Structure 1
Amino acid sequence: MTNVVLVLADDLGYSDLGCYGGEIRTPNLDAIGRSGVRFSNFYNTARCSPSRASLLTGLHPHQTGIGVLTSNDTPRGYLGSLNDRCATTAEILGAAGYATGMSGKWHLSSEVHTPCAAWPTRRGFDHFFGTLTGCGSYYAPGTLTRGERDASAEFDTPGFFYTDAITTDAVEFVHRSASQPHPFFLYVAYTAPHWPLHAPEADIDSYQGTYDDGWDALRKARLGRLVREGILPEDTELTDRDPTQPPWSAVTDQRWEARRMQTYAAMVERMDRGIGRLRAALEETGQWENTLFVFLSDNGASAEDIGDEHYQSLRNRPENFPGTTRSGEQVFLGNHPESDPGPEDTYASYGTAWANLSNTPFRRYKRWTHEGGIAAPCIVHWPHGGLAAGTVQHAPFQLVDVLPTVLEAAGVDYPQRRQQVELPPLQGVSMLPALRGAESEPHTLFWEHTGNTAVRDGQWKLVREHSQPWELYDVHTDRSELHDLAAERPDLVSKLEIQWEEWASRVGVLPWDDVIALYRERGQTSQHANG
């Protein structure tokens, strides 16, 4: 039987990897991608928790209880935890005789301190090491857990760094499992490169000079490499710089701005080194050839500025923001040129302009359903799987298609019930035919997140921001979404809108205005509803 390894990055942009046009050093993923299959039109669901729910269940996130993030807004809002009407990959493969392990970020439970039915150990994972919450320090991550026990003592080990700890645990799982007679499923969920910007100083310094030319020049260079890699067609247009951001020539503190992106790049490279260690473990144990390896990102790059007023609430969430370092020094929260990101006593993000670079050539970011929010790098490698190795697959797929692919590769059927509760049918299709070079069956893709909505049917994509008019794009000729055809094709807008409304009703999408109203009744704002 086939082993399965799913590796998920956190907030990684579409063009950050070298094999997707980036200047960040990612030799391990580049080698896997260029010798496997890279997707150019793969999509996530625009946000971390919903993407994780969809990836692991083959359902749309609203069906799983994870409509926004992990706040429990029942009975009128979303549950905020995996419900009992979905089955995870670990539960399904575990029932078929697989050993199941997870290393890294869970973020699928509203309860992060006390074990409950939505914890990984109770959703099919025999082994778990990682964090229950959505973000935190890389030096002292909150809610660090091993099994169902607090593991915070582990980050007092000299040299502890969370990205490396995730890798080490995953490698140990491979070595243990490879000696057993049954196959294994391993889910590795890195928090890199999600803020805070934390990385060892030597790693940051190694990118000295790389970003001195600034975001304008680097975006153009990335698009050129995306075309040369065969990811995007030669006539792809580059979107304008985000209108809220200055040209690089007008930036007053270029050294500090470059330092922000250097730190982000160091975080991505550290993750790539870990993936190299994981591949080495699979090769050393003779498992690499018969392992279905999938790598992807949970959403587009994040333009979140944790220095603004909304993110000051982090001060009241010690599981996300520790307040002090392990040695008792105060941690500086926010983005300011007087504070270079990277060390444990900083807590910063890289900002809109660099996120715009990460999502080259697209516009918008994490949380939006325009291409910058949902287009993801996706790499699949399986030497014994008969894949069309060394190719780029241009057919569109999304996260609900991953579980059907895994189950077909493993030769395991999707169950009709979980603990006597009837399950919805899988919402996606297997990507294996496309991975093997066959023409894929067309299927319609749908999205909704915080009122941002989209539907893609073949070459046509209908998309809108919450409370804004629909926009229509021919993404075969205009992947960058620069030429809105809605006024020219009202018939097509109407047809796709009807499809989206039918889908939204079927999967349980709540009207976003109703969710906002719920938060306002509590004395909170629409920003709080967004999570």
Structure 2
Amino acid sequence: MAEQPNIILILADDMGFADLGCTGSEISTPHIDSLAANGALLTSMYNCARCCPTRASLLTGLYPHSAGVGHMGADLGTPAYQGFLRSDSATIAEHLRPAGYRTLMSGKWHVAGDFEPRNVDSWRVGDVDHPTPRQRGFDRFYGILDGATHFFSPHYMLEDDSRVQVFPDDFYFTDAITDKAIGMIEESVADDAPFFLYLAHTAPHWPLHAHPEDIARYDGVYSAGWDAIRTARHETMNDMGLFASNWEISRRDEDVHPWSAEKNTDWEARKMATYAAMVDRMDQSIGRLVAALKRLGQFDNTLILFLSDNGGCAEFMAEDGWAKFFPDKTHDGRQIVMGNRPDVMPGDALTYQSYDKPWANVSNAPFRLFKHYVHEGGISTPLVAHWPKGIRPDGARHAPCHVADVLPTILEAAGVPYQKEVGGHAIQPCEGESFLPLLKGGDWARSQPIFFEHEGNAAVRAGRFKLVRQHSADWELYDMEVDRTELHDLAGRGGRQERDLVAQYQDWAQKVGVEDWDRQLPKLLKAWGLQSVDG
């Protein structure tokens, strides 16, 4: 057998389709852009619209409901919604480790049940319903277990099985997880073992935290406002010939006012500048990782995959909303000003803000809607793939793929079989399909439709057609080859094709255990101790 490749899977958090230089952005991402230019860029990769459902699907090759994370971390009472990885699923690490791979993870886990960030002493880390990466096939782990953290002062981190409680003055999460990942790789190379690294970023997920020098690089860039930036990104995409067709850009979201009506322009521009700085720093860290691979002689035979877990996030960081779930003091006792306040500029350790819907609309250009939703803005991510020994640089590929397809693709590249039993548990058949032939430049198309469901938002993509609806709304139908921005609804005119898509979705939803969201929502609010929740 040929020498097995190393594999690095890099996941960004809440980064929209248009936030990379190679997809039309003004944000500086030269290292990711270089990987795309010298590898492959998939323009129709789909995620699951939200952080942990995507991570569960990505890690297991199953739809999120089949993996146990049909919603988020709260246990809503059924196997599809238990909130942590099911025992009849197996992670990429659990498949690769029996074949001799060192299995390494650095970053955000978020497939291990619910945690209360303000009450870390109550956490039951390592219980059956709160498994750590080390319990799901990873030899090494450094990072966080829940869904978000303070970039300068994390509330709870683990290194392998021990809690990290001391942080240097220059600590920054994006830098730290990359440094640890490089160290893990160095250990594996010293032992002459192939490695699988899962580098799971929290950038650019809120809170908006970045190094001052990175923010300064974007000073004044966003003073033109969200309308101008969004239009410029779309025009750049079209000039690049990014997609198979130059689709019309979706209209500004109906909840977003024009930039000309914005009163706090300096604050708004600073929010987007900080967000851009977070993406920029993530790209810098990927550059350091690539440099380490070259130094160690591992670059040419390492398959690198980069993508995002959902579209840009429209959540508003109100003091009495999402912000109230997180600690309001740093680890050294300094008070944090929580929430999106125009009198507080974001970016440093004593702030906790989000970039909000208008800028998320920019991140997701040219598509509609955001994280949470299964219209294209919520589920579309570019996938960058690079492997000098295995992939021929040949421009963009446009065939639709799903994050569940990543696991079988990795296993095929490594020459490793899909495990049918792990830890005494029979493993469900893989629901993803390897797209390695697509990466190698061949003709490839998924044999099965792609399905989506999150909080009652639902869709099915089969060939050129997509059936989609928001929770409690009517089905919409789009021809994605001529209208991927979902502006011209064909519902009611699709005939047998439309009826077949509805039937296929209903069959899939029953098979994987999708529950009516109106019945699930009260359970979630009770679990969170809420009557309602923003975002």
CA-based RMSD of the aligned residues comes to: 1.7
Show the counterpart of 1:122: 135
Distance 2:408 2:84 in 1: 22
**3-state DSSP of counterpart to 1:455:** strand
Shift of 1:232: 2.0
Distance 1:526 1:66 in 2: 22
Show the counterpart of 1:470: 475
* Residue 311 of structure 1 pairs with residue 322 of structure 2: yes
After superposition, residues 406-417 of structure 1 pair within 5 angstroms as: 406-417=410-421
Instruction: String of CA shifts for 1:125-168, please: whole Å, max 9, x gaps.
Output: 10000001100100111221101111021x2x121111100110
**3-state DSSP of counterpart to 1:383:** coil
Show the counterpart of 2:465: 460
Distance 2:80 2:42 in 1: 34
* Residue 217 of structure 1 pairs with residue 221 of structure 2: no
Which ranges of structure 1 fall in alignment gaps of 5 or more residues? 315-320
Show the counterpart of 1:19: 22
Shift of 1:2: 1.0
* Residue 172 of structure 1 pairs with residue 183 of structure 2: yes
Show the counterpart of 2:437: 433
Shift of 1:310: 3.3
Of 144, 148, 152, which aligns to 1:135? 148
Show the counterpart of 1:352: 357
- Runs of 4+ aligned structure 1 residues displaced above 4 Å come to 519-528
Preserved contact between residue 101 and residue 126 of structure 1 (Cα < 8 Å): yes
Of 124, 138, 147, which aligns to 2:160? 147
Show the counterpart of 2:426: 422
Show the counterpart of 1:317: none
Show the counterpart of 2:509: 504
Preserved contact between residue 433 and residue 446 of structure 2 (Cα < 8 Å): no
Once the two structures are overlaid, the 10-residue window that deviates more, 14-23 or 247-256, is: 247-256
Distance 2:519 2:356 in 1: 30
Distance 2:528 2:392 in 1: 55
Instruction: String of CA shifts for 1:260-280, please: whole Å, max 9, x gaps.
Output: 000000000000000001111
Shift of 1:420: 2.3
**3-state DSSP of counterpart to 1:288:** coil
Instruction: String of CA shifts for 1:404-456, please: whole Å, max 9, x gaps.
Output: 10000000000111222211111111111111121113331110111100000
Show the counterpart of 2:489: 484
Show the counterpart of 2:303: 292
Equivalent residue pairs, number: 521
Distance 1:222 1:527 in 2: 36
Of 22, 31, 35, which aligns to 2:34? 31
Shift of 1:201: 1.4
Once the two structures are overlaid, the 10-residue window that deviates more, 219-228 or 461-470, is: 219-228
Shift of 1:116: 2.8
Distance 1:227 1:507 in 2: 38
Instruction: String of CA shifts for 1:42-79, please: whole Å, max 9, x gaps.
Output: 10000000100111100001011111111122258721
Distance 1:186 1:393 in 2: 25
The residue type equivalent to 1:49 in the other structure is C
Of 370, 373, 376, which aligns to 1:368? 373
Instruction: String of CA shifts for 1:335-386, please: whole Å, max 9, x gaps.
Output: 111010001110000010000000000110001000000000110111101x
**3-state DSSP of counterpart to 2:137:** coil
Once the two structures are overlaid, the 10-residue window that deviates more, 328-337 or 495-504, is: 328-337
Distance 1:462 1:63 in 2: 21
Show the counterpart of 1:383: 388
The residue type equivalent to 1:129 in the other structure is Y
Alpha-carbon distance change, 76 to 182 in structure 1, aligned in 2, over 3 angstroms = closer
Preserved contact between residue 208 and residue 346 of structure 2 (Cα < 8 Å): yes
Q: Normalized against structure 1, the TM-score is what?
A: 0.95
Alpha-carbon distance change, 346 to 520 in structure 1, aligned in 2, over 3 angstroms = closer
The residue type equivalent to 2:351 in the other structure is T
**3-state DSSP of counterpart to 2:303:** strand
The residue type equivalent to 1:214 in the other structure is G
After superposition, residues 82-93 of structure 1 pair within 5 angstroms as: 82-93=85-96
Alpha-carbon distance change, 438 to 147 in structure 1, aligned in 2, over 3 angstroms = same
Preserved contact between residue 27 and residue 279 of structure 2 (Cα < 8 Å): yes
After superposition, residues 63-212 of structure 1 pair within 5 angstroms as: 63-74=66-77, 78-110=81-113, 113=123, 114-117=125-128, 118-153=131-166, 155=167, 157-212=168-223
The residue type equivalent to 2:45 in the other structure is F
Preserved contact between residue 304 and residue 385 of structure 2 (Cα < 8 Å): yes
Instruction: String of CA shifts for 1:240-282, please: whole Å, max 9, x gaps.
Output: 1111111111111211110000000000000000000111111
The residue type equivalent to 2:460 in the other structure is V
